[in-house]
Structure 1
Amino acid sequence: MLQGTSSFRPKTAMKASASLSVVSVFLLCSSTVASQACDQFAAVGGNFTVPLGHRLRLPDILKWKLNGSVIFYRRTMRMVVGKNDDINQDGSLKLTNLQKDQAGLYTSEVLDRSGRLQTTRDTNLCVLDPVKKPEVKASCQDGNVIFHCVSGAQPADVEHEWLQNGAKVKENRRWFETKAEETKGAEFVCKVSNKFSSETSEPVIHNCAETGYPGELAGINIWVLTGARVGFIVVLTVLVSVCFVRVEKKMTRGLKDEEELPFQRTDTEHRSRDPHFFPLQHHDLRS
């Protein structure tokens, strides 16, 4: 029993250790995911102010850290790290011409004269690419108009929004389709945005209801119109072919007549020179 008991305890200890390791890994992952959540967003090349969230007093000590590294440290009006232009009068941190390597966890620490911590605050800043201005293109199809929001390469988190005469349309895709006749003369705009930037296209008015190819035009089905056009082209082709054949026959016949006429003249002249040839006289005909 003791051996069994002694052999059981190590297994129990191993299981407990394994469970503790799993919990530790879970907490570590949770902490990492939480630390990656963005509190604030800013655009590449833009400016941003990280708030302090505390009212500074003259003898207070102020520190700013980025991902744990001290980037600003002022101790009782004496600069240790950084410069005075790095912060505003209220102690907030100034960031200009932001780049992606400036994204991360910003931590502010305010201490009293004796070095005792008064307050601290974390701000996770995400620096992302701004969206680009889009362009709207319209195409006509079967009585409908299809709008496409062309914007080139955009950030992964971009969102689309459509406006008709300034009012939001219930579409959030890069394209949408609507009735051409019902939206005749309406202005459509595509708006792209992400967490911190947005751009709007120039308004577009489609002409599908006027010059497009709707499913029915003035009550006549488009297939009927297409058939009529094809029939007209066929008839016209036949008429042109007939005319061409007749003209060609006339030209061929005229060429043959012109070729035979010189031979007839030559034959007549040859007979007139023959001494045995006597043309018929008028009295001979009477006899």
Structure 2
Amino acid sequence: MSVVTLISLILLSLGFAGAEECTMYAAVGKNKVIDHGLELLGQSFHLRWTHDSKIVYDTRKNTEPKPQTTPNGSLLLTNLQLNNTGSYQVTIYDNMGKLVLDKTTRLCVLLPVFKPRLTHTCTDASVSLRCDVGNSVDVNVVWSHNRQTLPGSTDKTLTITKAMLKPVDRYVCTVSNKASEEKSDDVNPECTEDSSSTVLLFGMKLWLMVVILAGGGGLLLILIVITLVCVCQSRRRRASRIKEEEEMRLAPLTQPTRQASLHHHPPKSQSRTRTKNRTPSQATQNSRPLPLPRSPQPEPDDAPPIPIPRRTGPRNHRS
């Protein structure tokens, strides 16, 4: 059992050792020419191209679809995709059928890198530059300062001191893989004097937070005052309405008493005026209480008749 396992491991290692590595790289969507390395071929030569042992071009056979070739017979691949990855073999024979060239090229098609975005952050004594590569994987990063490559700077973050920073400095990060390359825009990492000492509160500047809180507090105070005024006015209107309703409820009970008091007690000014205009005798007589009027009583049937006085008129003297 151990011998079988050992043999399997040996064969597996030999298989990995014999695996072909990529000798040519290209990006998705690009064009690529696979050159066989010979000079211009004549019409008498027999040229054949294969992709993973499948014939894709043959001068003596019709292949569909037939790829393009250059004038010397090199293979031209357009609008590459990931499935174009593989081994491309070229075989050339002369007019006598003798093998002139047998060459294999391993092509690897990769996704292109995205254009990086360069940002910077200022701290107390340094500036941190960050090269954002997006979704690109297996990329190399190179930093440039004033178009001069910085050796040894291959990380996505570059830190420099403020003492080294100058107003004319320009920094660029270059991202690349084996198939494509992209550069970021030039960035001048400017830092204001108070940017590193700015006090933050809840992620915002302190003075801005103070203004916001002061404005909010003033608005809240105004709302409280308006609410108190509205409550006081509402209570006053309610009390006035209750008082009016109470007076209207008691009006039928108090109105006869007022009229009687007004009837029996005339105003003092009128009584005084009448008293001054009266004579003493009238004043004495009026000062006595007037007798109350008696209601007429029914006369009995056996009451004696009331004598009626005789009327005497002027007598006519006879002549």
Question: Into which bin does the TM-score normalised by the smaller protein fall?
Answer: 0.5 to 0.7
What are the superposed Cα offsets for residues 93-133 of structure 1, whole Å, 9 maximum, x if unpaired?
Answer: 00000001001110000012343322111111111111111
- Name the residue aligned to 1:177: 159
Contact 1:208–1:214 (Cα < 8 Å) also in 2:
no
Paired letter, 1:67? D
Structure 2 matches for 1:100-111, cutoff 5 A? 100-111=82-93
- Name the residue aligned to 2:25: 41
2:86 and 2:67 mapped to 1: Cα distance?
Answer: 21
- Name the residue aligned to 2:307: none
- Name the residue aligned to 2:107: 125
Change (3 A) 1:174 1:166: same
Contact 1:161–1:171 (Cα < 8 Å) also in 2:
yes
- Name the residue aligned to 1:98: 80
2:28 and 2:94 mapped to 1: Cα distance?
Answer: 35
Paired letter, 2:14? L
1:158 Cα shift? 0.7
Instruction: Select the residue among 147, 166, 172 that pairs with 1:166.
Output: 147
Paired letter, 1:190? C
Matched, 1:72 2:71: no
1:168 and 1:95 mapped to 2: Cα distance?
Answer: 34
Percent identity between the aligned chains? 29
* SS class of match (2:182): strand
Instruction: Select the residue among 7, 28, 42 that pairs with 1:57.
Output: 42
* SS class of match (2:83): helix
1:160 and 1:96 mapped to 2: Cα distance?
Answer: 28
Paired letter, 1:168? T
Q: Which runs of 5+ in 1 are unaligned?
A: 1-13, 216-221, 223-228, 238-287
1:28 Cα shift? 2.6
Paired letter, 1:27? L
Paired letter, 1:30? A
TM-score (norm: length of structure 1)? 0.62
2:15 and 2:98 mapped to 1: Cα distance?
Answer: 29
* SS class of match (1:210): coil
1:22 Cα shift? 5.5
RMSD over aligned CA atoms reads 2.9
- Name the residue aligned to 1:153: 135
Q: Which has the larger radius of gyration?
A: 2
Contact 1:111–1:119 (Cα < 8 Å) also in 2:
yes
2:132 and 2:6 mapped to 1: Cα distance?
Answer: 53
1:206 and 1:96 mapped to 2: Cα distance?
Answer: 41
1:162 Cα shift? 1.1
* SS class of match (1:208): coil
Q: Which protein, 1 or 2, shows the higher relative CO under an 8 Å CA cutoff with sep ≥ 6?
A: 1
Contact 1:143–1:208 (Cα < 8 Å) also in 2:
no
Contact 1:184–1:209 (Cα < 8 Å) also in 2:
no
TM-score (norm: length of structure 2)? 0.56
* SS class of match (2:72): coil
- Name the residue aligned to 1:86: 68
Matched, 1:201 2:218: no
Contact 1:140–1:214 (Cα < 8 Å) also in 2:
no
Structure 2 matches for 1:269-284, cutoff 5 A? none
2:64 and 2:57 mapped to 1: Cα distance?
Answer: 5
Paired letter, 1:205? N
1:165 and 1:44 mapped to 2: Cα distance?
Answer: 32
More helix by share: 1
1:64 and 1:142 mapped to 2: Cα distance?
Answer: 63
* SS class of match (1:80): coil
Indicate the larger mover: 23-32 or 185-194.
23-32
What are the superposed Cα offsets for residues 207-255 of structure 1, whole Å, 9 maximum, x if unpaired?
Answer: 225342169xxxxxx9xxxxxx99xx9xxx9xxxxxxxxxxxxxxxxxx
Instruction: Select the residue among 9, 12, 15 that pairs with 1:28.
Output: 15
More strand by share: 1
1:187 and 1:47 mapped to 2: Cα distance?
Answer: 34
Contact 1:63–1:108 (Cα < 8 Å) also in 2:
yes
1:143 Cα shift? 1.4
1:28 and 1:85 mapped to 2: Cα distance?
Answer: 32
How many matched pairs?
200
Change (3 A) 1:69 1:85: closer
